[in-house]
A and B are shown apart, each in its own frame.
Chain A
């Protein structure tokens, strides 16, 4: 967990540096053309995490489309295969998810610039399986040491619905290529908990905290397919 945070931190720093540079170069160009269309990308933090944590495979594809000025319809599709190891538990979560919603861009761009600082809302749905790999019954004291049991119970076809509030930014670094950072605050609406177990990790929602809240970080690299170009 600590290691993961450290990596996320470094990615943030990297993106911030790029952001700073790109702003400098963009100031010189004067283009009064507006372009928009479909923007498609990937979350680059997830493959990086997968590389360092072998028990964690994840992928997320992000896309958005400008529907009104400053309003973007957004969809994210993802997949997770993650083994979580706790003090007395070890379980694997596999499944996929979809998030749909919108972003509102609150940033007033200079002429020719195409950046965003936005707030967003998403509805998330996930279909997944949980496998309880092993557990050790928890007992106080050491008079009888419990053996670790390996039931390998698989709980199939579990679902979860949740909402997310997002705060983030996107920066056009090269022509039509965007780097994005966002943080999301997730709130579980409902989830089908397995019998005698709990959904402690949900694809897309991430770790489910005690109060059914969650948090997510996204670092995206996306490409804008400019379908519409027009003068401002």
Chain B
């Protein structure tokens, strides 16, 4: 009987220690990828000295405080159909307003739904340090390639 009791106890503890067996490993909502190019030689990538990047009424993005980079990956607001970003380069600010449509796509049980942004447009933008903007891809469903090229 004692032998069985131990067996039951082990079984009971095994059940109690059950953890979730499915973790979300699929790709979910993608970010907007912006690449910076030289305005004079438009095929050349050119670094930007970023002071900070932030969406209007939000905190500065931690990752892009005083860094020199040729590309940034920024999230779009998935509760609204537009996001306004302010990019500060060498103490000069430029504002870009992105407009888009949102579509939620089912991924899996553990990941749920992801949002795809379609018909990406630039509603308006200031041209202080930014000379030109080009949209490479109007659909944002992955962050492997740049969706927007900024020339400066």
Contact = CB atoms under 8 A, between A and B. Distances in A.
Contacts of B12: 6, 9
A149 B75 CA distance: 19
A200 B109 CA distance: 7
Interface stretch (B34-42, B99-107, B128-136): B99-107
Contacts of A1: 18
Interface size bucket, A side? Answer: 20 to 34
Nearest to B59: A143
A6 B78 contact: no
A198 B24 CA distance: 16
A147 B15 contact: no
B15 A144 contact: no
Interface of A is mostly: loop
A89 B109 contact: yes
Contact of A143 (B16, B61, B106): B61
Contacts of B76: 144
Contacts of A25: none
B58 A143 contact: yes
Interface stretch (A49-57, A59-67, A134-142, A180-188): A134-142
B78 A146 contact: yes
A86 interface: yes
Interface residues of B, number: 31
Contacts of B77: 144
Given A5-B15, A86-B112, A140 B79 contact: no
Given A139-B28, A140-B29, A196 B111 contact: no
Contacts of A14: none
Interface string B72-112: 00011111000000000000000000000000111111111
A189 interface: no
Interface in B106-148: 106-115
A100 to B, nearest CB: 29
A29 to B, nearest CB: 27
A2 interface: yes
B15 A2 contact: yes
Given A6-B15, A87-B110, A144-B78, A135 B104 contact: yes
B36 to A, nearest CB: 20
Contacts of A6: 12, 15-16
Contacts of A2: 15-16, 18
A111 interface: no
A5 B21 CA distance: 14
A210 interface: yes
A144 B76 CA distance: 8
B72 to A, nearest CB: 13
A25 to B, nearest CB: 20
A139 B105 CA distance: 12
Contacts of A139: 28-29, 75, 78, 114-115
Given A9-B12, A198-B109, A87 B24 contact: yes
**Residue among A136, A138, A200 with max Cβ neighbours from chain B (10 Å):** A138
B29 A137 contact: yes
Interface of B: 8, 11-12, 15-16, 18, 22, 24, 28-29, 31, 55, 58, 61, 75-79, 104-115
